[in-house]
Structure 1
Amino acid sequence: MIESSVPLQYFDREFRVDAVKILPGQYHAAREGAITTVLGSCVSTCLWDPVERIGGMNHFMLPGDQASPGSPWAASARFGVYAMELVINDMIRLGADRRRLVAKVFGGAQLLQGFDRLDVGAKNSEFVLEFLRVEGIRVLAQDLLDVCPRKVHFFVDTGKVQVKRLALTPGEAVERRERDYLRRLDGKRSGDIEIFSPPR
């Protein structure tokens, strides 16, 4: 099952550009405009074909291919391996060449107290860098790990990425969203990761 939710399209008044906002489990590819997201322990990869000026971004919550076959999470863009292939395939459909792709990667913070043993951010970061290495996609920039959420703007026509580090206060939307996201997976095995709800 592939994610069915459609990213939000809006006009970014700050940068005066048409933009698409993606949430966990979403991805988008385009020839123009901006793609934006807010990251906690999730990772986003901004991929760009500098010849055709086609860009794509994903936003995944868990690394690798970790849903058991037949589960509702199988082949989901919430998992890194699918999120990478889905956005690359969309870019190729728009005319990008996989051999020319370059990448910038962001996120992987450790935000959730009580999930210390389950450092999703570190696992996501490790996964994406290994995936890009194996695929021969050069990483031009990265801002990974740490303990702060990030707001990412990817300008597709130029390949430029602007990252703003955000102060996190308890109960903020990005933390609530990630905690709820993990809770929906509660009790499911995800490869070598066991999802659990931390004590309040």
Structure 2
Amino acid sequence: MNAIPAAAAAPGTYFDAELQTRAIKLLPADYVVSDQPLALITLLGSCVAACLYDNAVALGGMNHFMLPGDSDAVCSRYGVHAMELLINELLKRGARRSRLQAKVFGGGNVLNGFHNDPIGTRNACFVLDYLAAERIPLMAQDLGDIHPRKVCFFPQSGRTLVKRLPSARTDVIADAERAYYGRLKREPVSGSVELF
């Protein structure tokens, strides 16, 4: 998916009554870069969201990826491509690579039956390795465990709120992820939008 514009009519835009701000909801394979006073919000199970920001220009962005990477992947559902898309959009909008900072969330092992090589753990390891290789400082993280999370990121300041969701919500997110992973096996990589 292309970067979603931070405008009132952007897909997923709504007014968040709890936060008392305009917000954009990200789904898997989305990424958003903004310099507007709003919140970027996503729900994560085994997926990971990377929040990158440059305080000097009050610009930041968030992605939401499902799988760590594929050397041939050109889809933002893969972490390697999602990270490149997010960084490139930040740089195009005036951020400097040397000033980028990161906060990362998710990678919970919420899917039963994936004990040998859980996708949440692989996603979490991928994002930490990627940031280290790119020399982007990691300012905060909440990765792993078995809980899904709701993440709210304020791109102008880099402020982030994370809420671990109760186990009753885990089943809903795990079921949605299982269905999405099942479709990934049947669908080609190409395509602009993937929703679950």
Give the TM bin, normalised by the shorter chain.
0.7 to 0.9
Deviation at 1:42, TM superposition (A): 0.4
Counterpart Cα distance in 2 of 1:8 and 1:170? 21
Matching residue's letter, 2:58 = R
Structure 2 length-normalised TM: 0.86
Uncovered stretches (5+) of structure 2, i.e. residues with no partner: 5-9, 190-196
Matching residue's letter, 1:86 = L
Counterpart Cα distance in 2 of 1:92 and 1:127? 22
Matching residue's letter, 1:65 = D
For residue 103 of structure 1, give the secondary structure of its aligned residue in structure 2: strand
Counterpart Cα distance in 2 of 1:104 and 1:171? 23
Matching residue's letter, 1:29 = V
> What is the root-mean-square deviation in Å for CA atoms of aligned residues?
2.1
Question: Identity over the aligned pairs, expressed in percent?
Answer: 46
Deviation string, structure 1 residues 143-166 (Cα, Å, up to 9, x no partner): 000000000000112211000000
Counterpart Cα distance in 1 of 2:170 and 2:140? 30
Counterpart Cα distance in 2 of 1:7 and 1:23? 10
Matching of residues 8-19 of structure 1 within 5 Å: 8-19=12-23
Matching residue's letter, 1:46 = C
Asked if 1 retains the 8 angstrom alpha-carbon contact of 2:147 and 2:170, the reply is no
Deviation at 1:109, TM superposition (A): 0.4
1:46/1:8 Cα in 2 relative to 1: closer, same or farther (>3 Å)? same
Uncovered stretches (5+) of structure 1, i.e. residues with no partner: 191-200
For residue 56 of structure 1, give the secondary structure of its aligned residue in structure 2: strand
Which residue of structure 2 lines up, in the alignment, with residue 195 of structure 1? none
Asked if 2 retains the 8 angstrom alpha-carbon contact of 1:76 and 1:83, the reply is yes
Deviation at 1:126, TM superposition (A): 0.6
Asked if 2 retains the 8 angstrom alpha-carbon contact of 1:3 and 1:25, the reply is no
1:107/1:7 Cα in 2 relative to 1: closer, same or farther (>3 Å)? farther
Matching of residues 79-158 of structure 1 within 5 Å: 79-158=78-157
Deviation string, structure 1 residues 80-122 (Cα, Å, up to 9, x no partner): 0110011111112221111110000000000111122340011
Which residue of structure 2 lines up, in the alignment, with residue 36 of structure 1? 41
Matching residue's letter, 1:164 = K
Matching residue's letter, 1:165 = R
Counterpart Cα distance in 1 of 2:83 and 2:11? 16
Deviation string, structure 1 residues 6-40 (Cα, Å, up to 9, x no partner): 74111111111111110111110000211000000
Which residue of structure 1 lines up, in the alignment, with residue 27 of structure 2? 23
Deviation at 1:185, TM superposition (A): 2.2
Deviation at 1:171, TM superposition (A): 7.2
